[in-house]
Amino acid sequence: MARFRRRTCIILLLFILFICSIMMALKTLRPDRAGFGDPFGLGLLPELQQRTVLLDSKQNSLNRAQGDTVTRVSNLHSIAVNTMKASMSSVKKLEEELSSPNYNFHIFYYTWYGNPQFDGKYIHWNHPLLQHWDPKIANNYPKGRHNPPEDIGANFYPELGSYSSKDPTVIEAHMKQMRSASTGVIVLSWYPPGMADENGEPTDDLVPVVLDYAHKYNLKVTFHIEPYKDRDDRSMYHNVKYIIDKYGSHPAFYRHKTSTGRLFPMFYVYDSYVTIPEIWANLLTVSGSQSIRNTPYDALFIALLVEERHKHDIHRSGFDGMYTYFATNGFSYGSSHHNWAGLKAFCDSNNLMFIPSVGPGYIDTSIRPWNNHNTRNRVNGKYYETAFSAALLVRPEIISITSFNEWHEGTQIEKAVPKRTGQVVYLDYKPHKPNVYLELTQKWSEKYRKEQEQWLM
């Protein structure tokens, strides 16, 4: 009996040692230190992400208190690629929590915002008040510029505050919001390296970080080429080549599958109509002197249609399709819902894509105080749903959304919160929650998917 007890104790001790050795081995598999922002990392582990974000914010506060320099974009990408890889179980958990991306829902996205913590100053939130072109009218309205963080160039106030587009936690939050809305393709506002809009600063260095975070959430990124200085057929060729060479191999880089089964990059070209069709034809037709067709840089080029006559110019120019951008029903021919059926018919007969742009409303009086007549009330989401209904009626291959975060024009679906300051009472989404427009987008994404199945039958 004593021998049996002794043998049992030895076996039990060996079993305990075995369990301890396994636990120690597993512990060594966990990285001692993980950076923030890996495209396969922390966002797939929500509970770990929350703790990491809290620690990062505390460390950032400490660094600022000690007088550390402002975070540089060149460091953001190295941070973004150094975190741990997510396990398959974490990927599955993310897929269960968020709606699947709809790659036929494209959403316009802006990375031009800045604040002192990340940029050394406010950028875009301090937007100037734009003066009316008629001096008699202009004199009736205030001048100057906004003074963040309480006074920003927007009629709504973001839940994330006057954020910086360089802040990794902001990019992460944006990607998760867009994924929760079941959008699939981010249409990233883009200027060539060293260039920016008149109120901003260059942002091309931020593209790799956006691509990494988009990939983390299984989103794709295409480019909204802005009307940069001296944009013409030659500069466009070089800039398209630059984008494809530099970013085309990234797994989040968007390629559209055509009816022939071929995959092409896609570029939205804002204010395309300011360049004459003959110049565009040099780039976009097979016989053009700067032709990009049948080269490694061939792509789908989508022009902005504002006036009815632009449809003929777009066709002559060699574009592959048209979009309407503006979220103001009745503002332009292209943005007027009742014209979409005719535009879709024109595109179908000329082998062009028609991409209507829907939006939740429009108000830009924070930066254009004289522009009340173009305000479009959100009507608690009804305006947005009406736009989606109009878009689905024409059975488009793609629907674009204006916008995720164009706060200056009040077209954002990003989360907004009620806010009142001594000077301003901001608009909000009440009686709904801050995420109501994300939920509406997700609802219509699912509706679009179901109706598209019927179209294809």
Long-range contacts, stretch 52-55, CB < 8 angstroms, 24+ apart? 53/169
Rounded Cα gap, residues 267 and 255, in angstroms = 10
Say what percent of the chain tops pLDDT 90.
76
Please name the residue that has the structure tokens 């059926």.
341
Peptide bond into 61 cis (omega under 30): no
* DSSP helix/strand/coil, 425: strand
User: Within its chain, how far is the Cα of 391 from the centroid?
Assistant: 20
Per-residue pLDDT of 152-172, as tens digits, reads 999 999 999 999 999 999 999
What's the mean pLDDT in 186-209? 97
Could you give the C-alpha distances from 195 to 109, 186, 230, in angstroms and in order? 17, 21, 11
Phi, psi of 338 (to 5 degrees): -70, -10
**Residue 266, by phi and psi: left (phi above 0), alpha (psi -120 to 50) or beta?**
beta
pLDDT at residue 97, rounded to an integer: 73
Going by C-alpha positions, the residue among 248, 187, 263, 173 that lies closest to residue 216 is 173
Amino acid making up residue 317: S
pLDDT by residue (tens digit) across 412-445?
999 999 999 987 999 999 999 999 999 999 999 9
Per DSSP, which regions of 261-352 are E strands? Answer: 263-269, 300-304, 321-323
Closest residue by Cα to residue 35 from 54, 52, 48, 59: 52
Q: What is the pLDDT of residue 400?
A: 98
pLDDT in tens, 310-363: 999 999 999 999 999 999 999 999 999 999 999 999 999 999 999 999 999 999
- Per DSSP, 355 falls in state E
**Max Cα-Cα span within the chain:** 109
Question: Which fold is adopted by the domain 101-455?
Answer: TIM Barrel (3.20.20)
pLDDT in tens, 35-55: 323 332 222 223 323 333 333
**Residues 6+ away with beta carbon under 8 Å from 242:** 192, 193
Whether pLDDT at 30 is above 60 = no
Per-domain residue ranges of the chain:
101-455
| pLDDT at residue number 98 | 82
Mean pLDDT throughout 172-198?
A: 98
Axis crossing angle, helix 73-80 with helix 207-216, rounded to the nearest 10: 30
